[in-house]
Amino acid sequence: MTSGSQALCSKTSLLHPLLSSRAARFNPVRRFVTRTVRMASPDPSGPPPSSKVDSASAATAATSSPDAAAGASSVSASSAIDFLQLCHRLKTTKRTGWVRRGIRDPESVADHMYRMGVMALIAGDIPGVDQDRCVKMAIVHDIAEAIVGDIAPSDGVPKLEKSRREKEALEHMCRVLGGGSRAKEIGELWMEYEENSSPEAKVVKDFDKVEMILQALEYEKEQGIDLDEFFQSTAGKFQTDVGKAWASEIASRRRKEE
């Protein structure tokens, strides 16, 4: 989603030690050129050039394990806990833009995704849109940031390279999960969002922006800081009626606070 100087912490590593026992079975020796734990910057939601992204590869990786080959539809307890421990990093990775602006106690990536999931849940019926799919997409759209961190536009990473890193991270996470239908679904949801290729993806991308400006409004009120660049970065970029309506309501409330 979500530009100026920023606080960041970069580490060069392969994979977190907590994955070693289980993930070794899936031969996950990949180079994540830099493991950058960064933390929302104005509107990083634009999709990378779709011609360069293999829309099937993340889902294919999800079915590459022995469990998937056997047609397993459930996830083993061991794989589930390995995967969830990896997802724990989403709770501790702070969103880049807020850190860069010096926000006290900034939200995490998991905080951001959770409220997006609630948005999808309460949005009501939208013609031609699968609400349940929107909820699922909201809670996985930034899941690769458990490995690569929150790469913001101001980091100077090209969109294609950002997408490559995140897709590689997602494929690894799907293997940690053991493959099968659940991992395949996560891969498909992530790629659908990344490519903005469905009505659901368009709704969730709008929620990504709405959640960011709502959070910006809350930080302005709580911490007395001007975060106008976050509002400006989303202006005119909403694709759906619900996104436009909610953004308009937030803008109206912000004007009343001035």
* Predicted pLDDT at 118: 98
Mean pLDDT of the chain: 81
**Structure-derived torsion over alpha carbons of residues 192, 234, 111, 92, reported in degrees to the nearest 10:** 90
Q: What is the mean pLDDT of residues 211-226?
A: 97
d(CA 128, CA 242): 13
| Cα(142)–Cα(255) distance, integer angstroms | 30
Domain boundaries, the chain: 77-256
pLDDT at 48 over 50: no
Is pLDDT of 150 > 50? yes
pTM greater than 0.85: no
Domain 77-256 CATH superfamily: Hypothetical protein af1432 (1.10.3210.10)
pLDDT score of 222 more than 50: yes
pLDDT for 74 = 82
What pLDDT sits at residue 171?
97
Distance between CA 101 and CA 146 in Å, rounded? Answer: 22
* Confidence at 197, pLDDT banded by 50, 70, 90: very high
Buried b (16+ CB within 10 A) or exposed e, 81-114: ebbeebbebbeebbbbbbbbbebeebbbbbbbbb
Q: Is 70 exceeded by the pLDDT of residue 13?
A: no
